[in-house]
Amino acid sequence: MKQGWYHPVFKGVDPIGRILMFVVNDYLEIKDINIPHSYLDEFKDTFDELLNNYRDRLVDVSVLHAFNSIPVHDCDENIQKILAELGFTSMGDGERYIRGGVVEPRSRQEVNRMLFYHHQLHQNSRHENESLALDKMDELRDDFALRGRCEMFRVNLKAMAAAHQLAQGTNLRGHLVWGRKSHFEILLTIRNLQPNEEDEDI
């Protein structure tokens, strides 16, 4: 079988279905299984032998995404029973089933949040939402910069400008940024400049 190609399923000499699966590192990725329901019982025994053959090649973990082009979590009870007899269990992400291996099921949303929290990706701070991020940041250039510093982005900078008393000004690099008046006062002090007369009454 070539990697990434459909693996044909035969009943005698007649092709009755196909399986899209390939080996990824040390586990078997099964994207889809297309088998008529009338052949499911015979297919279960044969497919179990096939998976055991892969186990002999030290590929003992299998991940299944869909059955007859239907996501495995949405399949009917009959197919769910067959998958359970084959040793497949839910991975906890609502998308895949796994056979073999030891996993701690977590939802994809929770995993992504944990990765962002632990690795913090490319910045020094990443907060739960845009309000917390705005409280911790002295200045922000645009919505894209704010989105990169929070896990949940719901409201843009312009919508929060009045509530958080934000103003636009030029930072030390010459970029137009959003920030609080106190921050721009510090920048003026660093530049040794006086604020405009019309701003002194604010």
- Percent with pLDDT over 70 in the chain: 82
pLDDT of residue 43: 85
Query: The pTM is what?
Result: 0.48
Output DSSP code: residue 113.
H
Burial class (CB in 10 A: 0-12, 13-18, 19+), 127: middle
pLDDT of residue 121: 53
Backbone angles phi, psi at 141, to 5 degrees: -80, -45
Please state, in angstroms and rounded to a whole number, the distance separating the CA atoms of residues 69 and 71. 7
Mean confidence (pLDDT) of the chain: 80
* Tokens 């309000």 sit on residue: 131
Domain spans of the chain, in order of start: 6-99, 110-199
In this structure, what is the dihedral angle of CA atoms 115, 120, 121, 126, given to the nearest 10 degrees?
110
Higher-confidence residue of 2 and 123: namely 123
Q: Topology of domain 6-99, per CATH? A: Aminopeptidase (3.40.630)
Higher-confidence residue of 74 and 104: namely 74
Taking residues 60-75, report their average pLDDT.
89
